[in-house]
Structure 1
Amino acid sequence: MDIYTCELDPDTKTVLRLYLFTKVQNVDVIKNNIINGIWNCAVIKASLIADPLQVAVAANKAVVAEKLNSMVTKTVFAEILYNLSLTKNISQSLNKFGIDKDNSLLFCFLITDEKNDTENIISKVEGEQRPISDLAKYSNMKDIKSLYKLNNLKGNEDIVDIIVSKMVTKNFISH
Protein backbone atom coordinates (compact mmCIF):
# COMPACT_ATOMS: atom_id res chain seq x y z
CA MET A 1 0.00 0.00 0.00
CA ASP A 2 1.18 3.49 -0.88
CA ILE A 3 2.14 5.35 2.32
CA TYR A 4 4.05 8.59 2.85
CA THR A 5 7.48 8.34 4.45
CA CYS A 6 9.79 11.27 5.08
CA GLU A 7 13.00 11.67 7.05
CA LEU A 8 12.76 14.63 9.40
CA ASP A 9 15.56 16.81 10.76
CA PRO A 10 18.68 14.57 10.87
CA ASP A 11 19.50 15.59 14.46
CA THR A 12 16.20 14.03 15.61
CA LYS A 13 16.82 10.66 13.90
CA THR A 14 13.08 10.47 13.24
CA VAL A 15 11.06 9.31 10.25
CA LEU A 16 7.51 10.45 9.59
CA ARG A 17 5.06 7.90 8.25
CA LEU A 18 1.50 8.74 7.14
CA TYR A 19 -1.35 6.32 6.50
CA LEU A 20 -4.71 7.27 5.01
CA PHE A 21 -7.84 5.46 6.15
CA THR A 22 -11.42 5.97 5.04
CA LYS A 23 -14.71 4.57 6.30
CA VAL A 24 -13.24 4.28 9.79
CA GLN A 25 -15.76 2.57 12.07
CA ASN A 26 -14.02 2.77 15.46
CA VAL A 27 -13.42 6.54 15.65
CA ASP A 28 -14.43 6.72 19.34
CA VAL A 29 -12.02 3.92 20.33
CA ILE A 30 -9.20 5.60 18.39
CA LYS A 31 -9.95 8.98 20.00
CA ASN A 32 -9.97 7.45 23.52
CA ASN A 33 -6.69 5.61 22.89
CA ILE A 34 -5.03 8.84 21.77
CA ILE A 35 -6.46 11.04 24.55
CA ASN A 36 -5.44 8.49 27.19
CA GLY A 37 -1.91 8.18 25.76
CA ILE A 38 -2.33 4.51 24.85
CA TRP A 39 -1.53 5.15 21.18
CA ASN A 40 1.56 7.14 20.22
CA CYS A 41 0.44 8.80 17.03
CA ALA A 42 -1.46 11.80 15.75
CA VAL A 43 -4.73 11.35 13.91
CA ILE A 44 -5.63 14.19 11.59
CA LYS A 45 -8.81 14.97 9.68
CA ALA A 46 -7.89 14.14 6.09
CA SER A 47 -10.34 16.76 4.84
CA LEU A 48 -8.08 19.55 6.16
CA ILE A 49 -4.85 18.37 4.55
CA ALA A 50 -4.07 19.47 1.00
CA ASP A 51 -0.79 17.57 0.72
CA PRO A 52 1.41 15.33 2.92
CA LEU A 53 4.09 18.06 2.87
CA GLN A 54 1.82 20.07 5.17
CA VAL A 55 2.05 17.33 7.81
CA ALA A 56 5.77 16.80 7.21
CA VAL A 57 6.49 20.45 7.97
CA ALA A 58 4.33 20.36 11.11
CA ALA A 59 5.95 17.10 12.26
CA ASN A 60 9.45 18.42 11.63
CA LYS A 61 8.74 21.53 13.71
CA ALA A 62 7.32 19.29 16.44
CA VAL A 63 10.29 16.90 16.70
CA VAL A 64 12.77 19.79 16.65
CA ALA A 65 10.81 21.56 19.41
CA GLU A 66 10.77 18.31 21.40
CA LYS A 67 14.55 17.93 21.01
CA LEU A 68 15.07 21.54 22.13
CA ASN A 69 12.57 21.22 25.01
CA SER A 70 10.56 24.11 23.55
CA MET A 71 7.21 22.45 22.83
CA VAL A 72 4.08 24.50 23.38
CA THR A 73 1.92 21.40 23.97
CA LYS A 74 2.35 18.39 26.26
CA THR A 75 3.14 15.77 23.60
CA VAL A 76 4.95 15.75 20.29
CA PHE A 77 1.78 14.47 18.60
CA ALA A 78 -0.32 17.35 19.96
CA GLU A 79 2.48 19.63 18.80
CA ILE A 80 1.97 18.37 15.23
CA LEU A 81 -1.72 19.35 15.35
CA TYR A 82 -0.79 22.70 16.89
CA ASN A 83 1.76 23.32 14.12
CA LEU A 84 -0.82 22.61 11.41
CA SER A 85 -2.97 25.44 12.68
CA LEU A 86 -2.56 29.19 12.25
CA THR A 87 -3.93 29.89 15.71
CA LYS A 88 -1.78 30.00 18.83
CA ASN A 89 -4.70 28.59 20.80
CA ILE A 90 -3.81 24.97 21.61
CA SER A 91 -7.39 23.80 22.26
CA GLN A 92 -8.63 25.28 18.99
CA SER A 93 -5.77 23.63 17.09
CA LEU A 94 -6.43 20.21 18.61
CA ASN A 95 -10.19 20.48 18.07
CA LYS A 96 -9.86 21.67 14.49
CA PHE A 97 -7.30 19.15 13.20
CA GLY A 98 -7.67 16.28 15.65
CA ILE A 99 -9.92 13.27 15.48
CA ASP A 100 -13.64 13.99 15.66
CA LYS A 101 -16.52 12.26 13.91
CA ASP A 102 -14.82 12.29 10.50
CA ASN A 103 -14.29 8.81 9.12
CA SER A 104 -11.49 9.75 6.70
CA LEU A 105 -8.37 10.00 8.82
CA LEU A 106 -4.66 10.48 8.38
CA PHE A 107 -2.55 8.54 10.88
CA CYS A 108 0.79 10.18 11.63
CA PHE A 109 3.64 8.19 13.20
CA LEU A 110 7.06 9.34 14.34
CA ILE A 111 9.47 6.44 14.03
CA THR A 112 12.86 6.20 15.71
CA ASP A 113 15.27 3.33 16.31
CA GLU A 114 13.79 2.98 19.79
CA LYS A 115 10.10 3.38 18.99
CA ASN A 116 7.81 2.12 16.24
CA ASP A 117 4.19 1.42 17.23
CA THR A 118 2.96 1.61 13.64
CA GLU A 119 1.98 -2.00 12.94
CA ASN A 120 0.36 -2.51 16.34
CA ILE A 121 -1.87 0.58 15.92
CA ILE A 122 -2.64 0.23 12.20
CA SER A 123 -3.85 -3.33 12.75
CA LYS A 124 -6.52 -2.01 15.15
CA VAL A 125 -8.02 0.57 12.78
CA GLU A 126 -11.38 -0.61 11.50
CA GLY A 127 -11.49 1.06 8.10
CA GLU A 128 -10.21 0.96 4.54
CA GLN A 129 -6.56 1.79 4.10
CA ARG A 130 -6.15 3.93 1.00
CA PRO A 131 -3.01 4.94 -0.90
CA ILE A 132 -1.68 8.28 0.30
CA SER A 133 -1.82 9.39 -3.33
CA ASP A 134 -5.64 9.41 -2.88
CA LEU A 135 -5.45 12.12 -0.21
CA ALA A 136 -6.64 14.84 -2.62
CA LYS A 137 -9.93 12.93 -3.05
CA TYR A 138 -10.65 13.44 0.65
CA SER A 139 -9.33 17.00 0.97
CA ASN A 140 -12.02 19.66 1.23
CA MET A 141 -10.47 22.63 -0.56
CA LYS A 142 -13.26 24.98 0.51
CA ASP A 143 -12.62 24.19 4.19
CA ILE A 144 -8.84 24.33 3.72
CA LYS A 145 -9.04 27.75 2.06
CA SER A 146 -11.31 29.03 4.82
CA LEU A 147 -9.11 27.60 7.58
CA TYR A 148 -5.94 29.16 6.15
CA LYS A 149 -7.69 32.41 5.15
CA LEU A 150 -7.20 31.82 1.42
CA ASN A 151 -10.75 32.45 0.23
CA ASN A 152 -9.52 35.04 -2.30
CA LEU A 153 -7.18 32.50 -3.92
CA LYS A 154 -8.59 31.64 -7.35
CA GLY A 155 -6.96 28.29 -8.13
CA ASN A 156 -5.34 25.60 -6.03
CA GLU A 157 -1.96 25.34 -7.75
CA ASP A 158 0.12 27.23 -5.14
CA ILE A 159 -2.01 26.38 -2.12
CA VAL A 160 0.44 23.99 -0.44
CA ASP A 161 3.31 26.51 -0.66
CA ILE A 162 1.12 29.24 0.79
CA ILE A 163 -0.19 27.01 3.61
CA VAL A 164 3.30 25.85 4.58
CA SER A 165 4.55 29.46 4.56
CA LYS A 166 1.71 30.51 6.84
CA MET A 167 2.34 27.56 9.17
CA VAL A 168 6.04 28.27 9.63
CA THR A 169 5.56 31.99 10.13
CA LYS A 170 2.67 31.81 12.63
CA ASN A 171 4.99 32.66 15.53
CA PHE A 172 6.13 35.85 13.83
CA ILE A 173 3.12 37.07 11.86
CA SER A 174 -0.53 37.36 12.76
CA HIS A 175 -2.43 35.90 9.78
Structure 2
Amino acid sequence: MSLAPYTCALDPETGTTIKIYLIKDVKNVETIRNNIINGVWKCAVIKPSLILDLFQIVVAANRAVLSEKTKSLVTKTVYSEILYNLSLSKNISQSLTKFGIEKDNSILVCFLVNDIGETEEIIKEIEGELCPLSDLSNFTNVKDIKSVYKLNNLKSDDNLLDVIVSKIVTKSFVSH
Protein backbone atom coordinates (compact mmCIF):
# COMPACT_ATOMS: atom_id res chain seq x y z
CA MET A 1 0.00 0.00 0.00
CA SER A 2 1.71 3.13 -1.25
CA LEU A 3 0.88 6.63 -0.06
CA ALA A 4 2.98 8.14 -2.82
CA PRO A 5 1.15 10.56 -5.10
CA TYR A 6 0.06 9.63 -8.59
CA THR A 7 2.52 11.38 -10.89
CA CYS A 8 2.19 11.82 -14.64
CA ALA A 9 3.98 13.99 -17.19
CA LEU A 10 1.63 16.22 -19.16
CA ASP A 11 2.18 17.57 -22.69
CA PRO A 12 5.98 17.70 -23.21
CA GLU A 13 5.81 21.27 -24.54
CA THR A 14 4.60 22.48 -21.15
CA GLY A 15 7.33 20.76 -19.13
CA THR A 16 4.70 20.10 -16.46
CA THR A 17 3.99 17.08 -14.29
CA ILE A 18 0.82 16.49 -12.32
CA LYS A 19 0.86 15.09 -8.77
CA ILE A 20 -2.37 13.84 -7.20
CA TYR A 21 -2.98 12.89 -3.57
CA LEU A 22 -6.09 11.35 -1.99
CA ILE A 23 -6.90 12.49 1.53
CA LYS A 24 -9.85 11.44 3.69
CA ASP A 25 -11.37 12.68 6.96
CA VAL A 26 -10.17 16.23 6.31
CA LYS A 27 -10.89 18.50 9.26
CA ASN A 28 -9.79 21.89 7.88
CA VAL A 29 -11.80 22.04 4.62
CA GLU A 30 -12.74 25.72 5.10
CA THR A 31 -9.08 26.71 5.57
CA ILE A 32 -8.12 24.76 2.46
CA ARG A 33 -10.87 26.46 0.41
CA ASN A 34 -9.83 29.90 1.64
CA ASN A 35 -6.14 29.26 0.91
CA ILE A 36 -6.98 28.21 -2.65
CA ILE A 37 -9.49 31.00 -3.31
CA ASN A 38 -7.08 33.62 -1.97
CA GLY A 39 -4.20 32.24 -4.04
CA VAL A 40 -2.12 31.22 -1.02
CA TRP A 41 -2.00 27.62 -2.23
CA LYS A 42 -1.26 26.71 -5.83
CA CYS A 43 -3.29 23.54 -6.29
CA ALA A 44 -6.71 22.23 -7.27
CA VAL A 45 -8.87 20.35 -4.79
CA ILE A 46 -11.40 18.02 -6.33
CA LYS A 47 -14.33 16.00 -5.01
CA PRO A 48 -13.28 12.34 -5.35
CA SER A 49 -16.93 11.28 -5.57
CA LEU A 50 -17.04 12.67 -9.14
CA ILE A 51 -13.83 11.01 -10.32
CA LEU A 52 -14.08 7.57 -11.88
CA ASP A 53 -10.39 7.37 -12.75
CA LEU A 54 -7.35 9.63 -12.36
CA PHE A 55 -7.10 9.77 -16.15
CA GLN A 56 -10.11 12.11 -16.02
CA ILE A 57 -8.04 14.60 -14.01
CA VAL A 58 -4.96 14.14 -16.19
CA VAL A 59 -6.96 14.99 -19.33
CA ALA A 60 -8.50 18.08 -17.68
CA ALA A 61 -5.11 19.19 -16.33
CA ASN A 62 -3.42 18.69 -19.70
CA ARG A 63 -6.04 20.91 -21.35
CA ALA A 64 -5.50 23.47 -18.57
CA VAL A 65 -1.71 23.67 -18.95
CA LEU A 66 -2.02 23.89 -22.74
CA SER A 67 -4.55 26.72 -22.35
CA GLU A 68 -2.18 28.46 -19.96
CA LYS A 69 0.72 28.06 -22.41
CA THR A 70 -1.33 29.57 -25.24
CA LYS A 71 -2.73 32.28 -22.93
CA SER A 72 -6.28 31.10 -23.57
CA LEU A 73 -7.45 30.27 -20.03
CA VAL A 74 -11.19 30.65 -19.57
CA THR A 75 -10.78 30.98 -15.78
CA LYS A 76 -8.32 33.04 -13.73
CA THR A 77 -5.84 30.29 -12.86
CA VAL A 78 -4.61 27.03 -14.32
CA TYR A 79 -5.94 25.26 -11.22
CA SER A 80 -9.49 26.57 -11.57
CA GLU A 81 -9.18 25.67 -15.25
CA ILE A 82 -8.75 22.01 -14.22
CA LEU A 83 -12.09 22.10 -12.39
CA TYR A 84 -13.68 23.96 -15.31
CA ASN A 85 -12.38 21.33 -17.75
CA LEU A 86 -13.73 18.47 -15.64
CA SER A 87 -17.23 19.90 -15.90
CA LEU A 88 -19.51 19.87 -18.92
CA SER A 89 -20.85 23.28 -17.97
CA LYS A 90 -19.45 26.39 -19.63
CA ASN A 91 -20.53 28.32 -16.54
CA ILE A 92 -17.34 28.84 -14.52
CA SER A 93 -19.01 29.24 -11.11
CA GLN A 94 -21.11 26.13 -11.65
CA SER A 95 -18.03 24.13 -12.68
CA LEU A 96 -16.01 25.23 -9.66
CA THR A 97 -18.90 24.51 -7.30
CA LYS A 98 -19.64 21.10 -8.76
CA PHE A 99 -16.08 19.73 -8.81
CA GLY A 100 -14.38 21.83 -6.12
CA ILE A 101 -14.68 21.18 -2.42
CA GLU A 102 -17.35 22.64 -0.24
CA LYS A 103 -17.99 20.66 2.90
CA ASP A 104 -16.68 17.29 1.70
CA ASN A 105 -14.25 15.70 4.10
CA SER A 106 -12.52 13.59 1.45
CA ILE A 107 -10.52 15.34 -1.24
CA LEU A 108 -8.18 14.83 -4.17
CA VAL A 109 -5.39 17.40 -4.17
CA CYS A 110 -3.78 18.13 -7.50
CA PHE A 111 -0.52 19.96 -8.10
CA LEU A 112 1.09 21.02 -11.36
CA VAL A 113 4.83 20.86 -10.99
CA ASN A 114 7.23 22.65 -13.34
CA ASP A 115 10.12 22.54 -10.92
CA ILE A 116 10.58 21.80 -7.23
CA GLY A 117 7.27 22.89 -5.79
CA GLU A 118 5.70 23.37 -2.41
CA THR A 119 3.58 20.23 -2.60
CA GLU A 120 4.91 18.58 0.54
CA GLU A 121 4.43 21.74 2.65
CA ILE A 122 0.79 22.06 1.55
CA ILE A 123 0.07 18.36 2.13
CA LYS A 124 1.46 18.70 5.68
CA GLU A 125 -1.03 21.53 6.36
CA ILE A 126 -4.05 19.39 5.43
CA GLU A 127 -5.52 17.84 8.55
CA GLY A 128 -6.59 14.47 7.24
CA GLU A 129 -5.47 10.96 6.47
CA LEU A 130 -3.42 10.36 3.32
CA CYS A 131 -4.83 7.35 1.43
CA PRO A 132 -3.43 5.16 -1.31
CA LEU A 133 -4.80 6.22 -4.69
CA SER A 134 -5.89 2.64 -5.25
CA ASP A 135 -8.69 3.47 -2.75
CA LEU A 136 -10.23 6.08 -5.10
CA SER A 137 -13.02 3.70 -6.13
CA ASN A 138 -14.21 3.65 -2.48
CA PHE A 139 -14.96 7.38 -2.78
CA THR A 140 -16.41 7.35 -6.30
CA ASN A 141 -20.17 7.71 -6.71
CA VAL A 142 -21.04 6.34 -10.17
CA LYS A 143 -24.65 7.52 -9.90
CA ASP A 144 -23.50 11.14 -9.30
CA ILE A 145 -20.91 10.87 -12.08
CA LYS A 146 -23.55 9.68 -14.54
CA SER A 147 -25.80 12.53 -13.50
CA VAL A 148 -23.07 15.20 -13.80
CA TYR A 149 -21.99 13.96 -17.22
CA LYS A 150 -25.59 13.40 -18.39
CA LEU A 151 -25.12 9.66 -18.85
CA ASN A 152 -28.14 8.32 -16.96
CA ASN A 153 -29.40 6.57 -20.12
CA LEU A 154 -26.13 4.72 -20.67
CA LYS A 155 -26.96 1.01 -20.81
CA SER A 156 -23.63 -0.25 -19.52
CA ASP A 157 -20.80 1.15 -17.41
CA ASP A 158 -18.18 -0.73 -19.45
CA ASN A 159 -16.97 2.31 -21.41
CA LEU A 160 -17.94 4.97 -18.87
CA LEU A 161 -14.42 6.41 -18.57
CA ASP A 162 -14.07 6.63 -22.36
CA VAL A 163 -17.37 8.49 -22.65
CA ILE A 164 -16.47 10.90 -19.82
CA VAL A 165 -13.04 11.68 -21.28
CA SER A 166 -14.59 12.21 -24.72
CA LYS A 167 -17.04 14.69 -23.21
CA ILE A 168 -14.20 16.53 -21.41
CA VAL A 169 -12.12 16.76 -24.58
CA THR A 170 -14.99 17.91 -26.81
CA LYS A 171 -16.48 20.40 -24.34
CA SER A 172 -15.28 23.48 -26.16
CA PHE A 173 -16.95 22.65 -29.47
CA VAL A 174 -19.88 20.38 -28.61
CA SER A 175 -22.81 21.21 -26.38
CA HIS A 176 -23.66 18.09 -24.40
Shared fold (TM-score, shorter chain, > 0.5): yes
Residue of structure 1 equivalent to 2:161 = 160
**How far off its partner does 1:157 sit?**
2.1
The one-letter code of the counterpart of 2:85 is N
Is 1:29 equivalent to 2:31 in the alignment?
Answer: yes
Residue from 87, 91, 94 that aligns with 2:93: 91
In structure 1, C-alpha distance between the alignment counterparts of 2:59 and 2:50, rounded to whole Å:
15
CA deviation after TM superposition for structure 1 residue 86, in Å: 0.4
Deviations 1:16-47 (A, max 9, x none): 00000011000011001001100000000010
Distance 1:129 1:61 in 2: 27
Unaligned runs of 5+ in 2: none
Q: Specify every segment of 5 or more residues in structure 1 that has no aligned partner in the other structure, as ranges.
A: none
- Which is worse superposed, 154-163 or 11-20? 154-163
Q: Which residue of 2 is the match for residue 77 of structure 1?
A: 79
Displacement of 1:158 in angstroms is 1.0
Aligned residue type for 2:23: F
Counterpart among 110, 113, 129 of residue 111 in structure 1: 113
1:55 is matched by which residue type in structure 2?
I
Deviation of the 1:2 alpha carbon: 3.8
* AA of the residue aligned to 2:78: V
Q: Moved runs in structure 1, 4+ residues, more than 4 A?
A: none
RMSD over aligned Cα, in angstroms?
A: 0.8
State the secondary structure of the residue aligned to 1:123. helix
Counterpart CA distance in 2 for 1:106 and 1:138 is 10
- TM-score where L is the length of structure 1: 0.97
Alignment of 1:39-50 (within 5 A): 39-50=41-52
Q: Cα distance, 1:107 vs. partner?
A: 0.1
- TM-score normalized by the length of structure 2: 0.97
Q: Is the 8 A contact 1:2 1:133 kept in 2?
A: no
Contact conserved, 1:83 with 1:167, CA < 8 A, in 2?
yes
Partner SS for 1:17: strand
